[in-house]
Structure 1
Amino acid sequence: MAKLGCNIDGVLNEAKFSEPLPWIGIYIAAASLACAIAMAADAIHGFRHWKLWFPCKYFTINATSLTIITVAIKLSVDLNTPMPRGEDQLTKLSSTALICTIMGNSMPSLGTMENKEILTNIIALGILVITVIVNICIQLATGVIYVFCMEHAIIMFLMLVLLLVLSFTAFIVPTIKHHLELKYSKKYEIAEKECSKTCAKDRSVVDKLKEDLMKYWMMAHTCSPQFVMGRSVTCTASGALCLLSAATLAEAMVRYYLMPGSFRFCKGESDYKWSIKIILYAQAVAVGLGTIAPAIRWFIAINFRCPTRGRKMSHKKDYYRVEGYWTKRFVEMKGCPLDIKIRNPRCRRVIHDAKVKLLNLCIGIQTGIVLASKFIRFISIYFVSIVLLCYDQCRNCLMKCRPNNSIRNELGSDSASSSSSKLDLSRFVLYLEGEDTLVEIMMKENRDATDYWRQRANKRQPKHLMKLLELSRPSEGFKGLTEFDSFKVPSLDIEEAPNSWALSVVTLTGIAVALPNVNSSSIKHLIDGVSEGFWYVRHIEDNLDIQGNLTNMRKAADVVWLGVELYRKWLDVDLRKPSLQGTTPKEIMELLSDSAKNIFMEFKKTKVSCLLDSPSKWPAKVLAANCMYRISQSILIDYESRKFQTEEKLFEAITVMISDILAACLTNLQRFISIKCSTSSIEVREESVRHAVYVLGKTEKILNLLHQKELPGLSPGQMAHMDEWRSFHKLNSFLTETPLSPESESDSCFRSEVYLTID
């Protein structure tokens, strides 16, 4: 009987069942702390990048976070566990307040979700919130919660309002994204035309890219869905409601700890025992940290619209006008027929009329939410403006009392004149209906962002890569592009695979590492330079290979480079072993060539059908073997012809080849930066443009170095492909060996024109 939960007398042993509850309390506290850490990380991220609208990067509404939240608020839905003491009752309240904090904190994350994802997450959150509200009402009725009843009522009301605000705000996300996407396309065309007009010869490539990126950043930032959600009127209202729920919890805790005599609690102890304090402190910390972002969003929105700070006050009509995008989707749904398989016209009419009435109700609720949110913002402006006015008056008095006030005024006038001379980007600010007064503010707040990130990136210049690129030969058309694979090697009876920037570079580096009698410091400098350059090459290939033909080539390059950089191995071949054994360069080339050939032949025997596919679809290991075979055979032929006298000369020649390949690839940086600003989706476009600014900052000197000399006359599309460079170089070599007529000479001069257009 004891095994069934009964004691010797057959009485149910209830005490046994409650023994694990303290450890379950630790589990609840851990979930609460996980929420606190994620929300604190978002706050730190916002402060660090000076995004005071606090995008949700670490804590968003999704399946994982909802599961953690469900664990964290377990005490709110616990119907029958006795909670006699004051801290037990406070923990019930803190669990409820935590839900309000989470909803107010994560509202901007709606902008990052797809339509189906928004629907499922909002439904799941709604079920959770309604369950909590029902269970709390049951506990108030049964007496499980017998103090802080008013605080529970306030927080439940705020919770319900926040759920409505969050749910109906989610409905406008697809409409806003579509609207801003259209605006971005039009503005991007304008920016592109301006870029082509300002491509003067006396300006460097870097200066043009700086100005272009300022325009692209302003567009990408102001149309970021999270930023649009963060500056919306409903998000401002949710920040105020979230702050109010945190204040309600704080009031209850202050009353309990400072006025304990005003309460009468039951005797006894909760089954959660000592873990209750840990849960209470963890949830109080989570509520405190989670309120930072919503509160600052609310204050910043109020500050931007506060007339006492010289802001243009919104027209009075804006306070009782609902912009069209709030109800546009509901209106469109009213006109769409229901796809139902009912033939009876009367039933279909009844269903359609019910749908119209339901949508009319939704439009009414949406209108009420927007007007109530605007009223909350108006009330907030009224009270906060008084505080800000007092602050400004005190600051002005202190400034007048300082003896160096004249100097400060001169500095202020200088900064004002410098700001007025900056590029006017207001025409590239993307905004919604009713946000006209925020255009100048958004422009001024974000105009210098690109300069800030670029200057930070400037401090992290790829020094080893720049030293390696100094060996390149742009005036000779980057001859290394053809020298590393210049001879017709013995055929493997297969179709020739295309050349890849990354795979060619890492294969040549592996050969250079294997050479004997080479200074170890030279090898280290080469590895460091290629390591820095490989990062850029991979990004260029990822973004310029639009059709994805070189995907497996890039995988092969990653596999080879991992072995070469970390273990000095090419696949399973130890590159240091032959040189330590006194092997000659010829023997090393033969070893690498034979190893590559064996890998390919083994694959050919087992999977012949795969070779019938395009070479770009071969497995990564086979592509790496094919590349090694061709390059090692070409270098072996060069070495046997005594073109290189010593191992050091051969190493230097391979280093120059690597430098030429890297330099030719990096001439695509300008096009890569342009593509990063145009091809990404609206959810990640802001991050994509910031990455482009970061790349520009790190490669300014490289771009200036590469564009000091005349580049081959290839179109931007041709410059992205290594084989196009090789074909162009071979054609030029053929033309230089053939006497040219005057007409052909002029045509040749035309082909050497530099292409610096931005796609």
Structure 2
Amino acid sequence: MDSKLNDDYSQFNRYVMSCNNITQKYMSHLWTAVYQSDRQNQYSKPLPWIGIYIALASLFCIVAMVADLLHGFHNRKLWFPCKYFTLNAASLTVIAVTIKLPMDLTNLMPGDVDRTAKLGSLSFMCTIMANLLPSLATMGSKELVSNMIALGILVITLVVNVCIEINSGVLSYLGDDDDFFHIMSELGALPVGYAGGQEFLAANYVGMLLMLLIIYACSSFAILKSKQILESKYQAAHQIALKDLELLQLGRLSVEKLKQHVSNYWIMAATGSPQFMTVCSATTSASGVICAYSTALHIYMMPYDLQGLRDYKTNYKWSMLVILVIQFFGVILGTIVPLSRCFVALSFKLSVKWIWNHIKVFKVESYWTQKLYDWKKRSIPFPLSSRNAKIWLKAMFSASDIVLVQNSEHSRKDKDLSRYVLQLQDDMEFAERTLKGISKSVNRLIQKAEKQPPKNLMKLLAESRGFEGVEKFDSQYVPSLISEEHHNCWSLPLVTLTAITISFSNIPKDIVDGLLSGMYEGLVYVTLVEESFNATDEHGSIQKVAKTLWLEVEVHHEWLGNKLPKLMNTAGQTLRWLRDTAKNIVTEVESMDIGVSNDNSTYRSISANSMYRITETLLLSYHDHVSQEELVVQLSSMIADIMAACLTNFPRVIAMKCHAREIEKREVSVLAAAKLLGETTQIINTIQDCELPNLNPDELAFIDKWHAYLKHRFP
């Protein structure tokens, strides 16, 4: 009996000990769970601020999209070119931040706001891609390939992550009531916005993102070939424009001819714009439709998902609501541009006849598949060791030949405007109102610029008495002080004469200010003339000297570091001081060792030699009997004569500026030419009546040619 009691007691002790072990293990696990939860909360504290970072990145994208919208309205380009929001390394980095929520594989989204914000980021990504599509046309081949690879990696990564979340059930997790809501959803008692409906929405967005990526790839192939087609047609139209204006035979161009010339090039630049070409393509319209569907889906689901605006349960906390609101407005605003592009493409490009022809026969234009065709003809740049792979790839390229349709040449009517229209398809006709609208847009810019003429320059040019000053500013009897002769330029004698003029003590301040203001405005146009025609290295070095010297004269009223004299009583004293100072500077520079010579010494010697020759010429012409006031009048007239002679070349500058070699810069170049034409219309009309030297147009661009001609004409 005692042994039995001992056994029972032993069993009881073992039971008590086992219970203690279980309790101990349970308490240990509980403590570990509490500790891990506390540490997790510590690690999750920065997440709301990360959410704000996501919201700010989204806001940056929205501001850029709105900027493009406003830019389109301001310039009356309702196809909204991508100027501020473009595809590049910076924008891709920002976009990667905006889609962080759907990239997150582990964080559960049990709240209504959480789930909606996560799916809303996918809709926002669709909107971003639809807005960015035309920016592909602004890139070169290498840049286009690199950006497409980067975008493809980003989109594919996003799609893969969302697919994983769909499979793992992260998107449909509803928190504590997860099982209840799943049962109610299967019974049809809840709308699609709950439970499995999240996976359905995510699958839709995945499909749209993949379609947009395919559209991007197709557009890239088309853009590469389309630019070549537009370039060849632009060169043909460029030759027509040159013949129409007879630029090679005429030395002088009237304002009316220039306006017509600018208008012709504006039509070429506007219709041949790579972005305009892309906007008018079917891919852009398709991206707009996808964007609209994505937006409609997001708006439709908002009432179902947002049971309460404070229902956010993730570690992002209140920042989820900020992300949701900002990206929702981004989706709404961002849809305006893609939809507008769809409607504008139809009104700008398509005629009823063209639509009917393409409805009757399915037709794929050659520029969509030409790049693949070119790759087929050349050696394939991919290392394919498998014979079956090579056969499959060649078969794919051969299949593209089936849809490679070459357009037949169609004769078009020789209209003044239509012959400058650049289009990929010869059987497509622009609406007449479209061409008139394009032409009117540049005319409005010219008229606007006409209201802002360079008034101070016009006052300065009013003092011109012809072109005699071009011959009088430099005498053949004055030797050069420097051993190496340099060709002269328009700006250096103008700056030197201005420095001499403002150095006289009796000249009123208002005359000084007026002269400096007129020179400031005039040198802008003089520089354009020199850059257009005097583009050699030697001329460029002289022009650089003039620019540096002008900064001294205009800002500091100094010349080569010397304060301009204001205490001389007579004009002769001032001229002699400037002459002697210039001679000393040249002597100092010439005496330096060759090894010590640098850009500064060259600048000082050229500037000083110009001052010496001009002051010595003035002393030979006027001596000491002329007063400061009389000499200022003579110098102002001389400056105006040189300025006017230089600006006789400005119509040709405007005509040349209409043409740009790079297709992406042609619109900007023509707009700059139109603005210059408007600003200088009155000046061109004034100079138009002056008798020019008997020189060919190319020689008129050089002051040395003018000086030599006038010197022999008036010996």
Give me the TM-score of the superposition, normalised by structure 2.
Answer: 0.82
State the match for 1:461 in structure 2.
Answer: 453
State the match for 1:659 in structure 2.
Answer: 640
Contact 1:305 1:314 in 2 (8 A): no
Summarize deviations over 1:485-527 as a string: whole Å, max 9, x none. 3255564443122222233323332332332111100111111
State the match for 2:80 in structure 1.
Answer: 54
Distance 1:237 1:593, change over 3 A: farther
State the match for 1:236 in structure 2.
Answer: 285
State the match for 1:192 in structure 2.
Answer: 242
Aligned mate of 1:507, from 492, 496, 504: 496
Distance in 2, Cα, partners of 1:452 & 1:340: 52
State the match for 1:391 in structure 2.
Answer: none
For the pair 1:430 / 2:410, whether they are aligned, the reply is: no
Q: CA deviation at 1:91?
A: 2.0
State the match for 2:373 in structure 1.
Answer: 331
Distance 1:628 1:473, change over 3 A: farther
Distance 1:100 1:621, change over 3 A: farther
DSSP 3-state at the match of 1:321: coil
Higher alpha-carbon deviation: 271-280 or 325-334? 271-280
Aligned mate of 2:319, from 249, 267, 275: 275
State the match for 1:16 in structure 2.
Answer: 42
Summarize the alignment of residues 24-43 of structure 1 with structure 2, pairs less than 5 Å apart.
Answer: 24-43=50-69
Distance 1:494 1:354, change over 3 A: farther
Q: CA deviation at 1:434?
A: 6.3
Summarize deviations over 1:366-391 as a string: whole Å, max 9, x none. 99xxxxxxxxxxxxxxxxxxxxxxxx
Aligned mate of 1:68, from 89, 94, 97: 94
* Greater Rg over alpha carbons, structure: 2
Contact 2:545 2:606 in 1 (8 A): no
Q: CA deviation at 1:306?
A: 8.1
Q: CA deviation at 1:585?
A: 5.0
Contact 1:32 1:283 in 2 (8 A): yes
Summarize the alignment of residues 136-155 of structure 1 with structure 2, pairs less than 5 Å apart.
Answer: 136-146=162-172, 148-155=198-205
Higher alpha-carbon deviation: 58-67 or 532-541? 532-541
Q: CA deviation at 1:163?
A: 0.9
Q: CA deviation at 1:46?
A: 0.8
Q: Percent same amino acid at aligned positions?
A: 37
Give me the TM-score of the superposition, normalised by structure 1.
Answer: 0.78
| Structure 1 residue runs without a partner (length 5+) | 1-5, 368-421, 612-617, 735-759
State the match for 1:552 in structure 2.
Answer: 541
Instruction: Please tell me the residue identity of whatever aligns with 2:521.
Output: E
Paired positions, count: 651
DSSP 3-state at the match of 1:670: helix
State the match for 1:167 in structure 2.
Answer: 217
Instruction: Please tell me the residue identity of whatever aligns with 1:608.
Output: I
Q: CA deviation at 1:542?
A: 2.1
Instruction: Please tell me the residue identity of whatever aligns with 2:462.
Output: E
Contact 2:114 2:314 in 1 (8 A): yes
Summarize the alignment of residues 213-292 of structure 1 with structure 2, pairs less than 5 Å apart.
Answer: 213-257=262-306, 260=307, 269-292=313-336
Aligned mate of 2:607, from 614, 618, 627: 627
Distance 1:505 1:336, change over 3 A: same
Distance in 2, Cα, partners of 1:523 & 1:215: 42
Contact 2:586 2:609 in 1 (8 A): no
Instruction: Please tell me the residue identity of whatever aligns with 2:356.
Output: S
Distance in 1, Cα, partners of 2:562 & 2:202: 69
State the match for 1:414 in structure 2.
Answer: none
Contact 1:46 1:53 in 2 (8 A): yes
Q: CA deviation at 1:229?
A: 0.9
Contact 1:76 1:95 in 2 (8 A): yes
Contact 2:482 2:609 in 1 (8 A): no
State the match for 1:482 in structure 2.
Answer: 471
Distance in 2, Cα, partners of 1:26 & 1:361: 50
Distance in 1, Cα, partners of 2:303 & 2:601: 67
Aligned mate of 1:353, from 375, 380, 391: 391
| Structure 2 residue runs without a partner (length 5+) | 1-31, 173-193, 405-413
Q: CA deviation at 1:658?
A: 1.8
Contact 1:487 1:634 in 2 (8 A): no
State the match for 1:672 in structure 2.
Answer: 653
Q: CA deviation at 1:62?
A: 0.9
Summarize the alignment of residues 728-747 of structure 1 with structure 2, pairs less than 5 Å apart.
Answer: 728-734=709-715
Distance in 1, Cα, partners of 2:331 & 2:510: 55
Distance 1:567 1:270, change over 3 A: farther
Contact 2:134 2:275 in 1 (8 A): yes
Q: CA deviation at 1:305?
A: 7.1
DSSP 3-state at the match of 1:314: helix
Aligned mate of 1:210, from 226, 250, 259: 259
RMSD: 3.5
Distance 1:494 1:19, change over 3 A: farther
Distance 1:431 1:527, change over 3 A: same
Instruction: Please tell me the residue identity of whatever aligns with 2:421.
Output: V
Q: CA deviation at 1:168?
A: 1.5
